[in-house]
């Protein structure tokens, strides 16, 4: 039986791809995919990096810890795509917070101008509780050339009024959820007036881990087209990486048959899985 000519072509292409993978990985080590986290001081940039990538950057509830651009090179094993099963680097940059001190701002802004060009994606972190974003708008005007790289992340939403976060399920109360939606629309509108375009914004909590997987997905989906294939290979996070242990037990023990049927439709997040019966708890 003759083999399909297309099969031989595909086999040859796969062989050629395997041959160049070491070269690709070597190039990635020299110029790793890079994500930068920036924003006003105290919004939780370092804690977001620590929670997303299991790093150990210093954090503080009272004073600014990051004084220079700090980079963390992380090794991730790709679970799909051309680099499946290969170990590749991901570089995460933590920037000093703007607005900390009027004397430091010129220095920090120079650092931003010098370093942000190396980032494939820039995550601009905001504090969900802070209504005043004039500083963010002002800094955005000064960093105009980076606008197309920016994804906005609204942190600390677990502290939104009326402060009745559902600790057991790690989700906002219905009252908080309504307020979060209002805050999101308000911040998007104000930032869009500076960006002159619609903005991407993800609400999350670095403290509780709520919606971190959605933040990571949004970051990956925002990379330049020519590097999409690299970042797609890094989509190896599961909802279980960000789900509290107590909730995992609830999900695994309650209505196993129903949950199994839901899982068959894809790797759903814990929030998607819990919604059908969250009001019955």
What are the structural domain ranges in the chain? 8-237, 248-281
Q: What is the pLDDT of residue 281?
A: 45
Q: What is the pLDDT of residue 152?
A: 98
Q: What is the pLDDT of residue 138?
A: 97
- DSSP state, residue 207: T
Beta strands (DSSP E) in the chain are 34-39, 70-77, 87-94, 121-127, 150-155, 201-203
Q: What is the pLDDT of residue 277?
A: 43
Q: What is the pLDDT of residue 63?
A: 41
Q: What is the pLDDT of residue 233?
A: 64
- Over its length of 281 residues, how does the chain's per-residue pLDDT go in tens digits? 445 555 454 455 445 556 666 776 777 777 788 999 999 999 999 899 888 887 776 554 544 556 788 888 888 777 666 677 777 778 899 999 999 999 999 999 999 999 999 999 999 999 999 999 999 999 999 999 999 999 999 999 999 999 999 988 889 999 999 999 999 999 999 999 999 999 999 999 998 889 988 898 898 888 887 777 666 666 555 556 655 565 566 656 655 655 455 555 555 554 555 455 444 44
CA 31, 241, 84, 75 dihedral sign is positive
Q: Which of 119, 134, 161, 114 has the alpha carbon at shortest distance from 40?
A: 134
Q: What is the pLDDT of residue 238?
A: 56
Q: What is the pLDDT of residue 6?
A: 54
Q: How far is the C-alpha of 213 from the C-alpha of 264, rounded, in Å?
A: 20
Q: What is the pLDDT of residue 10?
A: 45
What architecture is domain 8-237?
3-Layer(aba) Sandwich (3.40)
Residue with tokens 């950057």: 57
Strand 34-39 relative to strand 121-127, pairing: parallel
> Any alpha helices (H) in 196-234, and if so which ranges?
212-221, 228-232
For the purposes of burial, counting CB atoms within 10 Å of the CB of 26, is it exposed (0-12), middle (13-18) or buried (19 or more)?
Answer: exposed
Q: How far is the C-alpha of 240 from the C-alpha of 269, rounded, in Å?
A: 8
Q: What is the pLDDT of residue 9?
A: 47
Residues 157, 160, 164: CA angle, nearest 5 degrees? 105
């Amino acid at each position: 039986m003759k083999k399909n000519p297309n099969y031989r072509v595909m086999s040859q292409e796969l062989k050629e791809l395997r041959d160049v993978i070491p070269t690709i990985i070597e190039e990635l080590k020299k110029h790793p995919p890079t994500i930068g986290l920036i924003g006003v001081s105290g919004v939780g940039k370092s804690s977001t990096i620590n929670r997303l990538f299991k790093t150990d950057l210093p954090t503080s509830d009272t004073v600014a810890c990051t004084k220079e651009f700090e980079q963390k090179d992380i090794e991730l094993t790709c679970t799909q795509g051309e680099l499946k099963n290969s170990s590749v680097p991901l570089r995460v940059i933590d920037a000093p917070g703007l607005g900390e001190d009027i004397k430091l701002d010129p220095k920090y802004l120079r650092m931003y101008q010098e370093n942000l060009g190396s980032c494939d994606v820039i995550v601009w972190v905001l504090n969900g509780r802070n209504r005043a974003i004039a500083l963010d708008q002002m800094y955005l005007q000064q960093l105009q050339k980076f606008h197309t790289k920016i994804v906005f992340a609204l942190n600390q939403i677990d502290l939104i009024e009326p402060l009745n976060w559902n600790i057991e399920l790690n989700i906002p109360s219905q009252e908080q959820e309504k307020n979060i939606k209002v805050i999101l629309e308000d911040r998007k509108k104000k930032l869009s007036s500076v960006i002159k375009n619609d903005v991407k914004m993800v609400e999350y909590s670095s403290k509780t881990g709520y919606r971190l997987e959605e933040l990571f997905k949004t970051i990956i989906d925002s990379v330049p087209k020519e590097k999409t294939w690299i970042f797609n290979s890094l989509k190896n996070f599961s909802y279980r990486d960000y789900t509290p242990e107590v909730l995992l037990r609830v999900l695994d023990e309650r209505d196993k048959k129903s949950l199994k049927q839901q899982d068959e439709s894809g790797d759903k997040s814990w929030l998607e899985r819990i919604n059908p019966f969250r009001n019955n708890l």
